[in-house]
Each structure stands twice: as structure tokens, then as C-alpha cells.
Structure 1
């Protein structure tokens, strides 16, 4: 490793005359060197002469903040968790749904042994990484390794991995394996444990269950793994000034481990300039803006994998029949090293079986797809050959308009499982679900679905096709970059000068005035009930008159649409209980101050709101109770269903159970939210506003509830938040906040600073333009030589 120059001191007023090239000349001619200019809250503005330099700066800066989390990622994708931590544990849920370290290792070792990632990297663009992407990745790896060489394992300040022998220099292969794991998160990564199956020893066939039961199981299994988002694009006609645009980017991601966002700006003077955030370890901006366009992503509804049922040859459970001809399954024996109780290592082996469609799978969280003596199920993941997303985000990072964003999405076809919502300086608002979607048409589903698939496809969009017929394989479109996926022209897209939005429902009501229809069922449903959060977003967007300030206020109002629909009736129900005692699973509960709190409640999840904690526990306890007396009406999708069904015994008992929950946790029914929803960082309690999305709250916070203590942390919710406005000014008017802060290291000054800022309802000025960077009172420059 080359030696590093001294870290420059904090620059003061003398920097007023400094140009964008601050420190660049001093960094020498090596393209792998960069300059980091830090502003408030540790946000690095990375400047370099070329893409390798940008990657280098990003790798060094990201490792500075999160070396332990990154090392954990690379340990996972190289299948060595069991070697260092033993076979138990929960795996690493940021990269798969494996239920243990051992299953995680065997899952990733199977991928590594297949060399699929190596083959994809070796391909030319557009299927493989383009030249600039390869340069960024190469620089990133060298930057990460340079940081580690500088500190050494013993010098790492984060106690999570200080001195740990599992922290090591990385390779480009490690990076690409990490990205591949992200790409298949919605496919094989979501059903990992189902791959651990073996040829049957019995011919017993379990009952499949009812259609409703199957739909529920599919929803529970494929519920997004704690991922969600809001994206609201306001075009010129819905701004207060009647020109420009405003974008809200509000992903709801886990607050812990490797699905963290990390914020930065990447600049090559005169060539490349983009700011925003990316998932940790991705040296691109994935949600952000340039000088003239802004975009965000939301987790989309298409299920990016499908199942095939294949009939088996009698007496031979590893031979299946296609078009009446026998085909032998292939097998792969995978071995990983596992730490024993005495510290020694022993290999553990697993055999994985595959068909022409993909690997054989067993039951997945209650979805009955067993391998029996008569048939087996195989899974095909549409993202199993997708590294193209790296090219997608590289091109998005250069967009100057929504037209550029559309071209980037359509030419690369690499977005793995998200929608895109965008705006530009010209006042356009864009919704696009151009992503990787299995090519299963509605007609094919009708003719090729198995009896089980005839239930899961209409209900949830999960295809289960008849693998005995080669004609039932996934189709192809002429405009698709590879066989088996839909072309961009077949997927829902819409642009307007009004608004476009998505909050994890399907594309149907991206704009309530102009519903999108005509797309295949696998891309999402049409004419079905929208979530309370979608309805809240639509009602808010319809009001128009937006500015960047009003968009920030909208999000942090923490308003609950479900409370508007039900809280008044709930207060009346509370007051009607005989003797002031509500029924519950554990016996009558005194309502105490609950009725008055609900009657006076402002229907928000702001820190001082009283009644919000009780209402949250009530909705948790409702379960499958019939909540509304007015059902959903597709002709009034924004206002229905409504009216709480207070006569339902399940609703009444849910209220009593909610009172009991608060009592066990030591919380009064009228306690303010700040008393019952907080996180603790370095011994300091930080109250957290916002609430669960099912309550119709845009600013989602999903709390981790301990029955004896109440909320003890946040599982997932608002993470990197950006509001970007384009008006008459050359520089975008933008603000951000990273709710859990830049660093996972408790020793870092950027461990909880933005968490406290968020708690106070405050924002960080997005210093995108040169003058704003130089005016930062926290400006600190680091030259990487």
C-alpha cells in the first residue's frame, strides 16, 4: 500500500477562494487517489480525477464509518460465518433469510461453487459491468483495503470487530458476490431455507389448504423482509410556484446490520456529480439527485421468482419428466468449515438438487410445495443472471431529466426488485416499474398453472407452473435484454406534470386521477384495496401546492389515516364498556384515562401525542377481526374501506388486550409517545416519532416491542430521507436526514448524531453545490495520497 498524506486540518475562512479541485493536485497523478471533503454529520463529498479514484475514496470513507459491518458482509458472502461464529445464530438476515449461520454458509457456498458471479462479471456490457463500473469497483476494493492496512485489525475502534481475525482485505470478487446477494434478495434470498431439502422417503402428500390460507402464507413468506418505502414525485402543476418539482425519497429499511444506507457525494469535476445514499458497500448513488434530476426507489409488488412442479419417474425421485421424456436432476455437494464447541473445525456437507428450471425447493414457511415421490418443485429466480443493476445505477447517476432516467432503466433492465419514482428541473413526475419481472403472461398462467398456482397467481402473483411441459417455461420479449423477463414496454410506467407516487402497493394508483391498467398480473394487481399508507399518500398529493418545506412537514406530521377513520368510534366504544371494564384475553381491563385520551388525540405519532401508543397496540391486537363496516369499493379506492366495526367482539377484545399490553409494559393508556417509543444509543435514550405503516403513517417506524418494557428499539422504518426541489435556482433545494446516522460504530461521532436530529424533527442541509460545501462550518478535508 502507498503511504497516505497527513490528514489536513479543519479548513476555515481561507477556503472561501478554494475551487472544486481542493487538494486534487496534491494527491498526485495516480487515478486511485481522492479527496474527501466532510461536511456536517460526517457526510463525505468525494472528489477524484476518474472513476477508479471515486471508488477509492468511497471505499476508504465507507470503511472508516462501517468497517465491521462491511467485514460481516464479506464474511457472509464468502460462506465463512460458521467457521468463526459456529453453526447456530440467525445467519445474516441482511443478505438472505437463512435461519442459521450454517444454512447461510451452505447457501452462499453453493452460489460460489457454481461460479455464476464470475461468469456474469466476465461478460461484456450490458450483461456484465461496463468499463466505468469496473473502474469504480476496482478503486473501491483498493480504498477499503487501504483503510484496513492503515488501521490494522488491532487499530479498529469499533468493538464489534476490533482485533477480529475475520476482518480481512477484500477482492473484487467479494464485491460482486455482495451485489449479487442484493440482487437475489427478492428471490432465492427470500426462500433460502426451502433449498435445504432431500429426496423423499415417503409418498405422503400433504393437503394444500384453502385459497385464502395459501394467499396468507405467501404474503407472510414474501412480505419484503422489513423493506418498504415511500416515493412521491410532485410535478410542476402541483407545486406552489407552478414550476419545477419536488421529490420525497423515503425508504423504510432495517435500522441494523448490512442493509444500512450510507450518504455521500461523488464528483469528477466537469464530468460526474451526484449526491444521495446507497446501501452500504455500493460505491454508487442509488437514491439521490444530480443538478437537474432526482429519483428514489420503492420495493415493488412483482414476485421475482416462480415455481415449477415437475412429475417424477416412479421409483426414482431424482428423475423428472418433461414432454414425456426423463431428465435426471443434477446434484451439487457443498461443503463448509464449521467451528465446533472445542474450537476445532469440521466440514459439514449438503447436497443440493436442481432441474432445468432451477434448484429443487421444499416447503417454505408453510407454503406446501413438498418434494414427494410423485412430484417436486423447482424455483427459477429472474435475478439469477443479473449484475446489470450496477450499470443501471451508474447511468442514473448521470441523469439530467426523467427521460434520461427512463432510458437508463430501459437500456440496462437491471433494477432487481424496486420501482423508480423521479422528478426533474423541467417539472416532470415519473413512475416506472421497469425492473426484472418473470415473463409469465396472464394467458400462460391460465393454461399452465398447477392447481396450487391457480390459487397463488391471482391472489399474490406467485406463478407455479406445470414443469412437465416445456411450453410452460417462461416466455421472452424481443425488447428484453435476456430471455425469461418482460421487456420495458410491457411494464407499467407513467409520466405527468401533476404527481406520481408509490408506497409499496402495485402501479394501479400511481396517480388516482389516471390509474394505470393493462399490465400483466405478475407485475401487480389492479382494482384492489390500497393500504392505509397508500391512501394517505394519495390524499396528501391530491392537495397540491407543494414546496420542499411543505413536503418535509407532510412527512414529519406523522399523521395516521387509520386513526382518522377509526379513533373517534374507538373512543366511543371505550366509553360504552359497562363499568369501565374492557374485555380482554386475560380478563376485564379498566379503561381508566384511555377514553379521554383517544377523544382528544390529534391522530399523529409525534412525540407528545397521547393515545398513539394505545392505538398502535389496538391495531396489533386486531389480527384478522372484521375492522370495517363499509367495505372496499374499487370506484372509491382512496376513501374505502371505512367505519370501525365496534360491534364485532374481536374488535372489543382487541381494545382490552391493548390496555393489558400497556399495563404489562408499565405504560399508562394516555402516555405520550415519547414515553413508550425510543432507542438507546451509548446509554442515551432517544425518543423516536413516527409509527407503523399499516396505520396509514407515511413516516414509518416499526418498533421492536418487549412485553415487559414496551418499545426497546426500531426494527425498520424511515432510513435515508431526502426531499429534493428544483425551482429557478441553479442549485437543487434539498434536505436529508439519515435516521440511524452514518456509522454503526459506537465510538464514532457519527453514531447517533442524526438520530438525535431526527428525534427533534430537524433536517440536514444537502450541500450539493460548491459554494454550499465551502460554507459548511464543519468542513474538513482529507487527502488520500
Structure 2
């Protein structure tokens, strides 16, 4: 059944039978609301009996290729999902599994690179050494052998088993040589997959913001050799400061997100609403895929998951909706080791000498003539963890000191059970209990709301047990203190036992913080997060007193965080130009795509006045730039990132430069008593602020881009040769609808990350009403009808109805139905 098979509406006996099934069931719970439509029998009445040891699933696709998988056991549910996903994205997942199987050098060559999940490029050979070390250690196998909650539940095992089988069924039916996606048709690296392949993929996802971020640094760690004069290399000279973005945070990870949880005091109907706006890559293995999964009586959840994941990561069920944002918590710590002079692989611990363990891994790499040759690499490990070579963060292996890396997610294969439990939760309280039970969220915050109008924020993620007292006692060296000051990351003394990670009685395993030490908030009005710390999830109730490793308090919030809070506050006050007070679903959608630019609202007028006063700008390199044509462009800008916004791109380049000004560009500094409104006012007397305007004009002139070019003519993505204009603007500008771009050869901006899966859900007396759009569309296959359709919708600020009930699914004009059995 290659391609996009299935019975279309108005055709065939299979469809007739399927429509009878759909008409006989409705997943929405009965309601006694006056005037409510009569409810159909529940799904429990539907007979979907699987063959013994086999799989049976019904795969319905609604408009834009969104699959709704119906089955009566977890294995069959995974089977239907795996089949649907393979139809749309087999090539993308197949290549991701080559990565975690440590075979990129074998198929693509050791010296080639690929797009790293967190941005930038990774060398195939280094990637293979890293993932081969995980395979050789049997890490995933050991975690699979544990009993829940440390190991997977039987339900998760069945989902994964079925997902692999469904993927393989599609591959078998289609054949590698007949795959519809030309990017991997006939490729030798496309093969049937195993459950272990998928578990390695899930382990990779857990490590994204920890070991995955430091992959190069972990592979680059080698013991130093004596210098020609017989001495040993000394530690790196201590600089005046360190860029905090060399460590994992929202900006450096390339990930971000906005999320609103709106409660009964913030919505017009007195029930909950959620806005999900993850900012994830548009290309590669960290794309979202939209799906609806139904297992009668046990699971009914709609939303999105990352490639290969058989549960919903961001979404809603009948009574609860939730989203995630990248957390400010550090989920790892380095340990500074005191090395034995003359023996850089021996370190001191509690006054005793400890030798490091050396482990050599070998992979096969394709030579220029096509033959395969072995390549080997040796990793060195202390009892804290593997050694690290990271000069960008001032951590380098010398003759005196070395740095070991301990990853709190190194034992976390709980992630699928964590999200399955959240998929099933029917209230904020059940969601919180699910997080406390599994403690498997690797690196994100949670924002949620339920149908009773309760909202929830938490950063209950896998975080090292490092308290503030621990930091005071164990962060002592000049390097460690410098890193702590720059980034909040504790580099612990690796020579003392009392500097090891601690333990909490309510933690699922030793070494991580228990949920009792982690921030959470339940309110009836709202909670938000836009990648700053927990402190200001709601300004009316700041969260304080938590370990510093989780986040900072009483510090300036990003412009994006401030705009997100302002938009909620203005809607509740009725001062945003829309009707009434409090949110309707339609108003929530409008807020999402209003494309306001907070830096422009705060600073544009002062910048225009500065421009008019100083039409010629002397740059630091001695060049003079005429900025006079920029003045009317900025004055006429509508302060938004819409397709027709002229001047937005000029402002974007200006803001990218002005934020580099020594001491910052603001005249009024941050005030912790006014965190949403400060800092503000452009310091036009700062010479670097004026130079930033000159640099912005010069940059666009050099690229051949008009200063007044409408945003939609210079920001967009090309799909099958067609340019699709994309709205939205950058984090540095304070844009809620964030787009991160790369500049391509013609001077235009192509989105590489930012707004991806967008979901707005409102609970009503008759069930949830959801709208969504997947900005880059469902499929990565250029031949698919779902390759660009939602990208055009996003371009036009249009949304897709999230059809949740069986009646809603059955009424979709593009419905197709496929009965799968094996």
C-alpha cells in the first residue's frame, strides 16, 4: 500500500463500513448541558478485535493529512501511528536512526557533516564515536531491564513494539526502491527498524540539552602530552568573562517556546484555555508531527510529538491541555578534577589516587574508494562521568586539572511513560501527580489548564541535586567561580565526596532533585512561560527560594517574556483594542499572530529621533554611513512582523547590533519591583547605539536588500521551488511569534527554527475546541500533498480545526480511512 492509500469519502465498501463505525461512536463524554446534541454510543461499544499476537488499527486522515489512529490495545495503537508516520516522514526517521546506531560514517562518510539537532553542524565520525560509546556500554539495554518507574511500563513497551511494526509494515508494502520520497528511495541505509532503534532515539531526545549539547566536547577530550621541554600544559589563562551562551540555554540550544495556561478568571466562558507555541527546528530530526490517538476507555489525546515518538508531547485530551517550554534548569554539572602531576589520567579523590577508565570504541567508515575501514577513539571516564574538553567554557584538560561531565538524564528512559501518564491525566492535579510519579521530563517546563479553569506551571524536570549551600561549599576555584558568575552553572569540586550530588526522599532516583524542591504554581487566572526562569510565571505570585541551579530570581526578563505577560494583562484589562475583557478562543488566536514587536514599541520613536539628528554615522572601523533614508522607513513601520511590515527587517538588524552595546542600550535600568515594564528607553547618547543604526543600514545595503522591503518579500521558505512568505520576527526584538533565520545567498531570510506546531485549545461545556497549524507542514517528502499545505496556511495566519470527536472526524470533507491488520 505505497503512498497515501485509503478509502476516500464517497467511495467503496471499505469506507461504508468505516463510516458505520464512525457513526456508532463518539469519544466525547455525555453532557447534560441544555440544548446539547444527543450523544452517540461510546467507543467501548466498537468491536476492534486484534488477531492473537497481531495488530488491528483504523487510520483516519482528515484535512492536511492529520492522522487519527483508533485501536483497542497499545500495540495496535503504536502500529497505526508508526504506519502513518512512515507514510509522511520515513526518510527523516530512517536517517535519525542511522545517527543513533552510530553508522553515519559507514553510509555518508566520516568527514561529512549533518545538521545538529541544536543548530550548527556535527561531524559524522564524532557523532558515531559518541553513539557507539552508548551502544558499547549497553546503556539503553540496562535501562530497559529496570522495573517501572525507572524502566518502561508494559504499555510503553507495547506502544514501541507496535510503532516499529507499523513502520516496517509500510516499508514492506512499499519497498525501499519504490518509496515515494526521492531523498531515500533505494538508499542502502533504509531498513526495517527494531524496538531498540527507537529506544536509542528516545534516549537521544533525553540527552539533547545535556550530553547532546556537549557531543563534540566529550569526543574531543584527550589526555595532554608533555611539552617539548618536558613540562605539562597549564590551564587556560583566566579571561575577564565568559559568554553565557556557550552553555545550554534557550538562545544557545536553538530551542525555545511560549505557552499560556489561562484559567477561569482569564477566560470568557470560565473554563481553561492553553496556547502552545514551541520554537523548534524547521528541518531535521526535531520536527513535530501532528496526531490523534484513541484507545477506547483508556486514551484519547490529540497534539504533536517529535519524530519516532509514539505518544503526544504537546496537546490535549477531553479535559486537560498542556504545552512545554525549554527550562532554565541545568540538567548536568561538570566536576573539576585535581590531576596527579605527570599522570593526567589519575586524579585525587578524598586524598586517594583514582585512575580513570579508558574505553575504546570502533566504527566502520566509508573510504573514498567505497571500502569500509575501522576508525577508533578512546574515551576516558572518571567516577563522576566522562572527561570533557570545552575551551569555549574555560574547561580544558591540562597537566593540573581536568573536567568530568555528569548528566542527570544519563539514566532517564522514563520520558515515554512520563508523557503517556500526562496524555491520560484528566486534571491539573492528575498531571502534577504524573510528573511526581515518573519524574521523566528531561529539559522543559510545563504549562497547562483543565476544563475546571485551573492552571498549572512547573519546572519538574530532571535536575541535579545541587543546593545553594552545595554551591557555596563546592564551587571554589577561579574557573568555577567565573563560570558560575557568567552562567549560573556550578562546576563542582571533584576531589571531595561531600561535593557529589545529593539525594531527596521524594526523588525517583538518587542524585536528582525531588519534586518537593522544584517550582510549581496553580492559579485560577493564568500562568505563562517564554523560556525565562520560573520566577515570573505570574507577576502576582513570583516564585522564589528555589535552588539556583534551576533558575534565577529578581533578574531582568527577556523582551519576549515581557510581551507575553503584557498581552495577557492587556486582554484581562480590555486595553488591547479587542472587544471585552478576558479571552475567547478567537482572541487567543489573534494574540498569537498579532506579531507585535515589543522592542519597537519601546524604542522605535527614540531611534527615529536619533536618526534624524544624526543622518551620517561614523562606524568603529572608520567608515561613514548615510542613514538618512532609514529615518522615514522606521517612522512608517507598523511595529509588527507582518508580511506587509516595511522597516521590520531594518529594525531586526539594528536590534541585533544594539544589544551588544556595552552596558546595554537602555537608559532606564531593570527594576525588580517593575519587572514587566523595565528596562526601557533607548540611550541615544550611547555611541554604540548610533553605530548600531549605521551597521544595520550598511548590512542591508551590502546584502542588496531595500531598507523598506516588506517583510514578506525577504523572509520565507522555498518549497518545491516556490517562495512562501513567512511572518514573525526575532527573539532579540521581543517578538512572541518568534522566527529564527539564516541568511541565504540572495539576501533573504529562511526560517530554520521558531514557531512550529501552534495549538490553541478552549474547553467548553460540550468538550474541547482546538485550533492548530504546523508551520512547516506534516511531511518532509517533497512529493507529498502535505509537504507545503500548512505552510501556506501559516503564511496567511489561518488555522486548522483539531477534530477531536468521532463526529467531527467523520464530517471532515477530506476524510480517508484505512483499515490496518497484521
Does the TM-score normalized on the shorter chain lie above 0.5? Answer: yes
Aligned to 2:725: 687
What is the CA-CA distance between 1:22 and the residue it aligns to?
A: 13
What is the CA-CA distance between 1:686 and the residue it aligns to?
A: 0.5
Describe the shift of the 1:668–1:220 C-alpha distance in structure 2 as closer, same or farther (beyond 3 A): farther
Following superposition of structure 1 onto structure 2, how do residues 111-260 of structure 1 map, counting pairs within 5 Å? 111-195=134-218, 196-202=220-226, 203-210=232-239, 213-216=241-244, 218-219=246-247, 223-241=251-269, 243-260=270-287
Q: Tell me, yes or no, if the aligned pair for 1:703 and 1:713 is still in contact at 8 Å.
A: yes
Q: Tell me, yes or no, if the aligned pair for 1:33 and 1:48 is still in contact at 8 Å.
A: yes
What is the CA-CA distance between 1:117 and the residue it aligns to?
A: 0.4
Matched, 1:446 2:451: no
**Cα distance between partner residues in 2 of 1:342 and 1:501:** 56
Aligned to 2:35: none
Structure 2 counterpart SS, 1:214: coil
Is the deviation greater in 136-145 or in 536-545?
536-545
What is the CA-CA distance between 1:333 and the residue it aligns to?
A: 0.3
Aligned to 1:43: 66
Aligned residues: 778
Matched, 1:549 2:586: yes
Match of 1:275 among 302, 311, 316: 302
Q: Tell me, yes or no, if the aligned pair for 2:235 and 2:400 is still in contact at 8 Å.
A: no
Structure 2, unpaired ranges of 5+: 26-42, 227-231, 573-581
Following superposition of structure 1 onto structure 2, how do residues 287-366 of structure 1 map, counting pairs within 5 Å? 287-364=314-391, 366=392
Q: Tell me, yes or no, if the aligned pair for 1:24 and 1:34 is still in contact at 8 Å.
A: no
What is the CA-CA distance between 1:103 and the residue it aligns to?
A: 0.3
Structure 1 counterpart SS, 2:732: helix
Following superposition of structure 1 onto structure 2, how do residues 388-427 of structure 1 map, counting pairs within 5 Å? 388-427=414-453
**Cα distance between partner residues in 1 of 2:428 and 2:331:** 25
Is the deviation greater in 424-433 or in 459-468?
459-468
**Cα distance between partner residues in 1 of 2:642 and 2:243:** 35
Q: Tell me, yes or no, if the aligned pair for 1:582 and 1:590 is still in contact at 8 Å.
A: no
Aligned to 2:6: 7
Describe the shift of the 1:570–1:225 C-alpha distance in structure 2 as closer, same or farther (beyond 3 A): same
Aligned to 1:627: 665
Aligned to 2:630: 594
Describe the shift of the 1:633–1:723 C-alpha distance in structure 2 as closer, same or farther (beyond 3 A): same
What is the CA-CA distance between 1:24 and the residue it aligns to?
A: 7.4
Q: Tell me, yes or no, if the aligned pair for 2:8 and 2:815 is still in contact at 8 Å.
A: no
Match of 1:563 among 600, 624, 633: 600
Following superposition of structure 1 onto structure 2, how do residues 686-765 of structure 1 map, counting pairs within 5 Å? 686-706=724-744, 709-728=746-765, 730-765=766-801
Structure 2 counterpart SS, 1:542: helix
Describe the shift of the 1:584–1:362 C-alpha distance in structure 2 as closer, same or farther (beyond 3 A): closer
Following superposition of structure 1 onto structure 2, how do residues 449-464 of structure 1 map, counting pairs within 5 Å? 449-451=475-477, 452-464=479-491
Describe the shift of the 1:753–1:198 C-alpha distance in structure 2 as closer, same or farther (beyond 3 A): same
What is the CA-CA distance between 1:171 and the residue it aligns to?
A: 0.6
Describe the shift of the 1:98–1:760 C-alpha distance in structure 2 as closer, same or farther (beyond 3 A): closer
**Cα distance between partner residues in 2 of 1:97 and 1:357:** 28
Structure 2 counterpart SS, 1:614: helix
Following superposition of structure 1 onto structure 2, how do residues 484-499 of structure 1 map, counting pairs within 5 Å? 484-499=511-526
Aligned to 1:768: 804
Is the deviation greater in 453-462 or in 692-701?
453-462
Structure 1 counterpart SS, 2:253: coil
Matched, 1:29 2:51: yes
**Cα distance between partner residues in 1 of 2:622 and 2:456:** 51
What is the CA-CA distance between 1:669 and the residue it aligns to?
A: 1.2
**Cα distance between partner residues in 2 of 1:535 and 1:472:** 37
Aligned to 2:105: 82
Structure 2 counterpart SS, 1:296: strand
TM-score normalised by the chain length of structure 2: 0.92
Q: Tell me, yes or no, if the aligned pair for 2:110 and 2:365 is still in contact at 8 Å.
A: yes
Q: Tell me, yes or no, if the aligned pair for 1:392 and 1:408 is still in contact at 8 Å.
A: yes
Q: Tell me, yes or no, if the aligned pair for 1:388 and 1:413 is still in contact at 8 Å.
A: yes
1:389-419 deviation line (CA, Å, top 9, x unaligned) = 1111010111110001100111100000000
**Cα distance between partner residues in 1 of 2:181 and 2:5:** 22
Following superposition of structure 1 onto structure 2, how do residues 527-676 of structure 1 map, counting pairs within 5 Å? 527-543=554-570, 544=572, 545-578=582-615, 583=619, 587-591=623-627, 593-625=629-661, 626-676=664-714
Is the deviation greater in 655-664 or in 327-336?
655-664
**Cα distance between partner residues in 2 of 1:428 and 1:22:** 29
Structure 2 counterpart SS, 1:589: strand
**Cα distance between partner residues in 2 of 1:495 and 1:80:** 46
1:690-719 deviation line (CA, Å, top 9, x unaligned) = 01112111111111113x522341110000
Q: Tell me, yes or no, if the aligned pair for 1:313 and 1:319 is still in contact at 8 Å.
A: yes
**Cα distance between partner residues in 1 of 2:7 and 2:646:** 50
Q: Tell me, yes or no, if the aligned pair for 2:712 and 2:726 is still in contact at 8 Å.
A: yes
Matched, 1:263 2:290: yes
**Cα distance between partner residues in 1 of 2:277 and 2:181:** 28
Describe the shift of the 1:510–1:312 C-alpha distance in structure 2 as closer, same or farther (beyond 3 A): same
What is the CA-CA distance between 1:388 and the residue it aligns to?
A: 0.8
Q: Tell me, yes or no, if the aligned pair for 2:250 and 2:326 is still in contact at 8 Å.
A: no
**Cα distance between partner residues in 1 of 2:341 and 2:304:** 54
1:596-637 deviation line (CA, Å, top 9, x unaligned) = 221122210011111101101111223521311111111111
What is the CA-CA distance between 1:224 and the residue it aligns to?
A: 4.3
Describe the shift of the 1:199–1:546 C-alpha distance in structure 2 as closer, same or farther (beyond 3 A): same
**Cα distance between partner residues in 2 of 1:220 and 1:209:** 21
**Cα distance between partner residues in 2 of 1:683 and 1:185:** 32
What is the CA-CA distance between 1:95 and the residue it aligns to?
A: 7.6
Structure 2 counterpart SS, 1:189: coil
Describe the shift of the 1:659–1:215 C-alpha distance in structure 2 as closer, same or farther (beyond 3 A): closer
Describe the shift of the 1:44–1:201 C-alpha distance in structure 2 as closer, same or farther (beyond 3 A): same
Describe the shift of the 1:554–1:6 C-alpha distance in structure 2 as closer, same or farther (beyond 3 A): closer
**Cα distance between partner residues in 2 of 1:49 and 1:482:** 34
Is the deviation greater in 193-202 or in 714-723?
193-202
Following superposition of structure 1 onto structure 2, how do residues 52-131 of structure 1 map, counting pairs within 5 Å? 52-94=75-117, 99-131=122-154
What is the CA-CA distance between 1:678 and the residue it aligns to?
A: 1.1
What is the CA-CA distance between 1:651 and the residue it aligns to?
A: 1.4
Q: Tell me, yes or no, if the aligned pair for 1:592 and 1:669 is still in contact at 8 Å.
A: no
**Cα distance between partner residues in 2 of 1:636 and 1:221:** 24
Describe the shift of the 1:667–1:95 C-alpha distance in structure 2 as closer, same or farther (beyond 3 A): closer
Root mean square deviation of aligned Cα: 2.2
Matched, 1:437 2:453: no
**Cα distance between partner residues in 2 of 1:401 and 1:373:** 56
Structure 2 counterpart SS, 1:349: strand
Is the deviation greater in 267-276 or in 139-148?
267-276
Q: Tell me, yes or no, if the aligned pair for 2:118 and 2:253 is still in contact at 8 Å.
A: no
Is the deviation greater in 648-657 or in 149-158?
648-657
Q: Tell me, yes or no, if the aligned pair for 1:6 and 1:783 is still in contact at 8 Å.
A: no
Aligned to 2:39: none
Q: Tell me, yes or no, if the aligned pair for 1:96 and 1:189 is still in contact at 8 Å.
A: no
What is the CA-CA distance between 1:18 and the residue it aligns to?
A: 2.5
Q: Tell me, yes or no, if the aligned pair for 1:461 and 1:523 is still in contact at 8 Å.
A: no
What is the CA-CA distance between 1:96 and the residue it aligns to?
A: 9.1
Matched, 1:19 2:24: yes
Q: Tell me, yes or no, if the aligned pair for 1:431 and 1:494 is still in contact at 8 Å.
A: yes
Q: Tell me, yes or no, if the aligned pair for 1:458 and 1:521 is still in contact at 8 Å.
A: no
